[in-house]
Each structure stands twice: as C-alpha cells, then as structure tokens.
Chains A and B, each alone.
Chain A
C-alpha cells in the first residue's frame, strides 16, 4: 500500500552505535567485571550505570530512504564505515534500527559470512543440513538440493569426513555451496566474494548472476567494483551513513572512483582525547603528499608519493612500529609497509608528536584509486594501538602522451594490480636485410 510495488522499502532508517573509547581487547574482561558489579548497585541507587569511559555516539546510518523493486539486483558501495554492513544487518534482522523502518515483502535470506554455524566435529553432510537450517532452508529443501550442493562444492569423496579434516579451500567451498543454493525472494549478501580461489569465485558469481535473472531481488555489498558493475542492475553509494548516489552501476562506480568520495588527501583528528588509539599513542593525522610536499589526491604514475602518519605519543618508554597497508579499489591488499627508519627503530620513545612518512616509488602502482589503512603496533609485548581502515586515499594517473611508462604506447585500460616499469632488453637475431628496414 505505502510501498507502491517495492519489495524492500527503507524509510528514514537510522542506526546509532555507542562507542567506548578507552577499552580495548586487553582489559575488556576486567572492565566488564568491574562494570557488572557496579551496575546493579548503581541501579539500586536510582542511577543509570555511569559512563566509566569516554562515550561517543556514532551514526552508522542516517535517514536512509530507498525503494527496491522486485527482481532488482542492487549493489551497495562505499568506504568502510559508510554503513553498508549495518544496512544489511538491519535488513537481515540481526540488529534493530534506532529509528525509521524497513518494509519487506518476501522471504529474506542473508549471507553475512559463509560457514556460519559450521561445526568442526560434524561431517560435511551433517554440516550441510545444519548450515542450511541456520540459513533458513527446510529439511525437505536441503535434502532435495543435497547432491547439487556437494557437486557444486566438489567434495564428493569427503561428504562423510568431519570438516575439521578439510583443507581451508574445501571448507570455504562447501560453506559457499550451501549459501549459493538458497532460494528466497530477497537475498542479502555481504562481501562473500572475498574468499575462495579465482575459479571458484567465478562459479559463485555465475550462480548469483542466475539468481538475478530468475527474478530474485538481491542486495549485496562488495569492494569488488568489477563484481558490482557486472552483477547489479542498480548501484547505491553510501557516504557516512547517507545515500550519496543511486543509479546505474557504471555511473555510480565511476563517480565513486573518480570523485573525492573514495579518497581524500588528508584526514585529521583535532581532539587527541577522541582520536583513534589508546592511552599510549593516538593517531592525529594521515596525509598523502607528492614529492614536492603538496597534499595530493591524484598522483602521476611516474612520481613517488608519500604516506604520512602523524601521531601523538602519550606514554613514554614504548617502541612503536608504525605501518600502513595499501589497497586498490577492489579491496585487494597490495602491500604492507613498516617504518624502518633506523633513527627510531627499536628505540623507546619519549612523549611527543611524531610524523612518519613512507615513500612509495613512482612507476610501481597500477592506475586507479588506492586507499591507505593506518596501523600502529608494538611488537614486544605485542599490542595494537590503532588501526584505521581507509584513512586516506589517492588516485594514480597514467598520462598517455609521454609514452615513458610501463604501458608504453598501449592506449586502453590495462589489468593488473601493479604496474612496475621494468628494464627490458630485446636482442635481435635477424638477417642484414631487416636491419636495413629500420633505418
């Protein structure tokens, strides 16, 4: 009635999380104990359990409005933390929204992680039934599809072996096969294409492609832009919990990749108390600089680019290993680079502000958008101080005119995650007359 033909309608959907800043993994148990003992007592005295920590509210989704028609295959893209996964979690009823609503018409199956509920002690056969039931299949349905699932996973000989004896490849394939044979009206998929080998991934893509063609509504999140443009009939770009763009996949994909949405040259945290990190060290800024020291969002493929981490050491006497990870637009991790500057390596540091810069040489990366994850660890004793995904990003551009890059004179897009400029030699073993041709 209100939905006017839509199978899924998001109406002013918002989700708010409360984040406790000071407590990380190490002292969570102690903290929980402490709070658990204090909470009932404080409630008795008519007080809500006081925030023992600095609490911050974070809007994962803010007033999202979307209508999805039956049979649409919608890809949802956006930076990490843009709210994609939260959207799917609400849709699959794992967590509830803070305000707003979703209206659904149809059986929904969600696939937020393959192999959920697999039990290592059970055999492949038993796990297919268990996992199928968890994903919402009936016993009759599983029995009917059982042979198909096993064949799809290519594990016929191991059906009655406990899955703890499986190789990780077999495990993932089986888990995937069960999920791929779900038959709901609405299928919700989160980044599942990040697993398995390339051949199996293709098989799964094909299977999902079929799903879309048989009139099923599919909603999926992926970092793999190729998968998004190939599978979806519509694409939604989320930015900071809001719908930034909604349209044809290739349009949204180009906008996402070329605009500043996917990348910014600088990200700063002005308030040290709430910046990412712990009581030992906090990240205050991440920047991308060209060789001349200018902040850049796009860089010539021939030039080196510097990734700069600025952090505030709050507690003296720790040894740090700052590092960053570089990912391409498909979410593929290209490399990890640790700060190996001998000046501060293996040395305890005094309190203060530090800036560490890692230089990525020119003629190494491929064209496209890169994103940087900033990390800070201490190796002895092992501690993770902060990890910020997609802190900054930049685009690598290959101008075709010069002809002095690895692409040579080839004008069209080139695949590959790297594009180093190699030294090439070509030796001629030909007759005299050919040499005459060239001169």
Chain B
C-alpha cells in the first residue's frame, strides 16, 4: 500500500482536464498506460475461444488445412489455374495465411465494440484497446499457420529462401489493412448495426476477389492496377512472393497501389474512430 502511494504520487501532480473535445490530448499516452488491459483482453479472448468445443485448439490447425484443401481442389484441379511451377497446395497455403489473418481479425475487430458494450458504458479506457486486442486471437492463428507452412514446405521439399525474412513486413500490411477497415466498421457498428450484416459479406466476397486460390497473374495486365485497389492483392502477392522465394512474379506498381490504399484506410480509420469514440457510451 505504501509503496503504491509512493509510486502514484509521481504522476498525481499533473492535472487532468475533462471537457468537450478535450479527451484526446493524452490519448496515445493513455493507450500506452492501458497496455496491460490490452493484454488481458487479448488473453481473455484466447482463453474463452475454444471453451465448450470438442477438439479445442485443434480448430486452429484444421481450419487453414481445410481451406487450403478446398481451394486447391476448386482452383487447382477443377479450374486448372496456372501454378508458376510451385506445388498448388503450397501456392494456396501461402495465401491463406495472410487472408485468414485478415478475415479473422477484421471480423473480430468489427464486432469488438458492440460485443464489449457493457465495458464501454461503464468504464473509461482508450477505446482503441478493444479493437486492437481483438486482433490478437487471429495473430495466434497466424503463428500456428506459419508452423504448418514450415511442415508443408518440408513435405514438398521446397525450402524457403532469404526473401522469407520479408514476410513479417507483409503480415504487418495484412494487420494494417484489417485494423484500418476494422476501425471503420467497429465505430460505424456502434451507431448502425447494419454493419453487423455487411461485415460477413465483405469477408465472404473478399476471398474470391483476392488472389487466394490463384495468383494475380491470371488477371489481365491492363486491369492489374485497378485490381490492386483491393488492399489484400498487394499484401497476399507480397507474402507469397517472399515465402516462395520469388517463384511467383511480383507486380510492384500494383503493390504500391495496395499499400497506398492501406495507408489511407488506416489513417482515416484512426481519425474516424477518434472522432466518434467520445460518444460511444451515449450511443451504444
């Protein structure tokens, strides 16, 4: 008790002012101060995730494998898409990793505020903690999938090269894309629950609009830039390119388009979220 009071006395002296439109001043500092809450919320999501399921954490392994299997059969076997000399399952799996991460974190991010409405209306903390921590479960899945990929590469005797070191950068892009869109949707959902219905559509159609089951090379080159407006195009292409050590072709202008879209969406998402979060408790 005494030690605590001593520690707290250091930060007491500064004055906190609460007034209209003023709450954001210490925002980023607050966000940092509440980092423990961030970990606890993420930890909670991970803990309760597979409660009352039979195979439990096995789902984290089964899901990506089943997705890969289905996409390989549909696009590789039935549609006979080109594989750039790479085993088709490998080609698909390298894309499912960033895609599943994107889809999973976007879904949990979008639902996160409404799902935690009781917290929002009763306790103060920087609201961005909620969508940010909700991404962590998908991050855990990402790590598991990467381990699976390593096994798959051993099976196909397709060792990763030096370019694989760039993969975390592309994973970060996937995070930025999902977090940016997620911030928009979660904040909008507080006011308009319609987005609760819209969100699954984005994820569902996004799978077919992104180069997951096929490579971007099947898109005619004059449409390539337009196609790259989908931020996941550049992200998935980059991820696959780095892990397969350049076996697939990388379209850099398209990549830049995707990157720009991600930066814009993330920037505006943060701005919109900050602008509206002050009224969350009144509206939710």
**B18–A91 CB distance below 8 A:** yes
Contact with B along A104-141 (1 / 0, CB 8 A): 11111010110011010110001001100111101101
**A98, CB-defined interface residue at 8 Å:** yes
- Which of B7-15, B63-71, B249-257, B261-269 binds A? B7-15
**A387, CB-defined interface residue at 8 Å:** no
Contact with B along A377-413 (1 / 0, CB 8 A): 0000000000000000000000000000000000000
**A37, CB-defined interface residue at 8 Å:** yes
**B55, CB-defined interface residue at 8 Å:** no
Contact with A along B11-40 (1 / 0, CB 8 A): 111111111111100000000000011001
Q: Number of B residues contacting the other chain (C-beta, 8 Å)?
A: 43
Other-chain contact of B12, A3, A119, A141, A185 (Cβ < 8 Å) = A185
**A105–B123 CB distance below 8 A:** no
**A348, CB-defined interface residue at 8 Å:** no
Closest chain-A Cβ to B156's Cβ sits at a distance in Å of 40
**A36, CB-defined interface residue at 8 Å:** yes
Residues from chain A with Cβ under 8 Å of B191 in the complex: 36
Residues from chain B with Cβ under 8 Å of A113 in the complex: 122
**A267, CB-defined interface residue at 8 Å:** no
**B18–A96 CB distance below 8 A:** yes
**A122–B36 CB distance below 8 A:** no
**A102, CB-defined interface residue at 8 Å:** yes
Closest chain-A Cβ to B35's Cβ sits at a distance in Å of 10
Q: Number of A residues contacting the other chain (C-beta, 8 Å)?
A: 50
**B44, CB-defined interface residue at 8 Å:** yes
Closest chain-A Cβ to B184's Cβ sits at a distance in Å of 13
Other-chain contact of A36, B22, B119, B122, B194 (Cβ < 8 Å) = B194
Residues from chain A with Cβ under 8 Å of B17 in the complex: 101-104
**A337, CB-defined interface residue at 8 Å:** no
Q: Considering the complex, give the chain A residue whose CB is closest to the CB of B21.
A: A96
Other-chain contact of A94, B22, B51, B121, B192 (Cβ < 8 Å) = B121
Residues from chain B with Cβ under 8 Å of A268 in the complex: none
**B37–A95 CB distance below 8 A:** no
Other-chain contact of B282, A17, A126, A134, A183 (Cβ < 8 Å) = A17
Residues from chain B with Cβ under 8 Å of A107 in the complex: 8, 11-12
**A100, CB-defined interface residue at 8 Å:** yes
**B36–A105 CB distance below 8 A:** no
Q: Considering the complex, give the chain A residue whose CB is closest to the CB of B4.
A: A183
Q: Considering the complex, give the chain B residue whose CB is closest to the CB of A139.
A: B36
* Complex alpha-carbon distance, A138 and B8, angstroms: 12
**A116–B122 CB distance below 8 A:** yes
Residues from chain B with Cβ under 8 Å of A17 in the complex: 282
Name the interface residues of B269-284: CB closer than 8 Å to any CB of A.
Answer: 278-279, 281-282
Given the known interface contacts A94-B124, A130-B40, the answer about A100 and B19 at a Cβ–Cβ threshold of 8 Å is: yes
**B118, CB-defined interface residue at 8 Å:** yes
**B125, CB-defined interface residue at 8 Å:** yes
**B44–A92 CB distance below 8 A:** no
Closest chain-B Cβ to A89's Cβ sits at a distance in Å of 7
Other-chain contact of A97, B19, B44, B121 (Cβ < 8 Å) = B19
**B47, CB-defined interface residue at 8 Å:** yes
* Complex alpha-carbon distance, A3 and B12, angstroms: 14
Other-chain contact of A105, B12, B120, B278 (Cβ < 8 Å) = B12
Q: Considering the complex, give the chain B residue whose CB is closest to the CB of A39.
A: B192
Name the interface residues of A258-273: CB closer than 8 Å to any CB of B.
Answer: none
* Complex alpha-carbon distance, A281 and B48, angstroms: 45
Closest chain-A Cβ to B218's Cβ sits at a distance in Å of 35
Closest chain-B Cβ to A91's Cβ sits at a distance in Å of 7
Residues from chain A with Cβ under 8 Å of B5 in the complex: 183
**A29, CB-defined interface residue at 8 Å:** yes
Name the interface residues of A61-113: CB closer than 8 Å to any CB of B.
Answer: 89-108, 110, 112-113
**A32, CB-defined interface residue at 8 Å:** yes
**B54, CB-defined interface residue at 8 Å:** no
Closest chain-B Cβ to A116's Cβ sits at a distance in Å of 4
* Complex alpha-carbon distance, A108 and B16, angstroms: 10
* Complex alpha-carbon distance, A81 and B21, angstroms: 25
Closest chain-B Cβ to A248's Cβ sits at a distance in Å of 28
Closest chain-A Cβ to B195's Cβ sits at a distance in Å of 8
* Complex alpha-carbon distance, A92 and B124, angstroms: 6
Name the interface residues of A149-183: CB closer than 8 Å to any CB of B.
Answer: 183
**B58, CB-defined interface residue at 8 Å:** no
Closest chain-A Cβ to B197's Cβ sits at a distance in Å of 9
Other-chain contact of A101, B1, B11, B22, B278 (Cβ < 8 Å) = B22
Q: Considering the complex, give the chain B residue whose CB is closest to the CB of A135.
A: B123
* Complex alpha-carbon distance, A122 and B18, angstroms: 35
Contact with A along B95-121 (1 / 0, CB 8 A): 000000000000000000000001111
Q: List residues of chain A with CB under 8 Å of any chain B CB.
A: 3, 17, 29, 32-33, 35-37, 39, 89-108, 110, 112-113, 116-117, 119, 121-122, 126, 129-130, 133-136, 138-139, 141, 183-185
List the 6 closest A-B pairs by CB distance, nearest first. A101-B19, A36-B192, A93-B124, A133-B40, A102-B18, A104-B16
**Given A93-B124, A104-B18, 6 new contacts (CB under 8 A):** A33-B193, A103-B17, A104-B17, A110-B123, A110-B124, A130-B43
Q: Could you jot down 14 A-B contacts, CB within 8 Å?
A: A32-B193, A33-B194, A35-B192, A90-B18, A94-B120, A94-B123, A95-B281, A97-B18, A101-B19, A104-B15, A110-B124, A116-B119, A119-B44, A122-B44
Q: List residues of chain B with CB under 8 Å of any chain A CB.
A: 1, 4-5, 8, 11-23, 36-37, 40-41, 43-44, 47-48, 51-52, 118-125, 191-194, 278-279, 281-282
